[in-house]
Amino acid sequence: MAKKQKLPTDINKKAKSIVDIATNQEPVISDEIKLAAAALGRKGGLKGGPARAKALSSKRRSEIAKKAAAARWAKKTKGK
């Protein structure tokens, strides 16, 4: 018995997958595209943090850091 394929939740992607299955076509995602997208994301990520820190005042950065620390150390009391 063939293993059932998991279809995407997005309606458009699901329809494309069904057509590909019905016509015996395999989805084409090249490694070059994946590598290019990863490089682009990394490039933006390397710029984003320092640019945001430069745009914020030291007081605002301190407020954000205190809020983050409080969230990390807060006790989770879900379900009680």
pTM: 0.40
Whether residue 14 contacts residue 8, with contact meaning beta carbons closer than 8 Å, is answered with yes
pLDDT digits (tens, 9 = 90+) for 32-41: 888 888 888 8
3-class DSSP assignment, residue 78? coil
Cα 31 to Cα 34, 41, 45, 58, distances in angstroms: 5, 15, 21, 42
Dihedral (CA of 43, 46, 52, 57) sign: negative
Q: Where are the domains of the chain?
A: 11-72
Percent of the chain with pLDDT over 70: 86
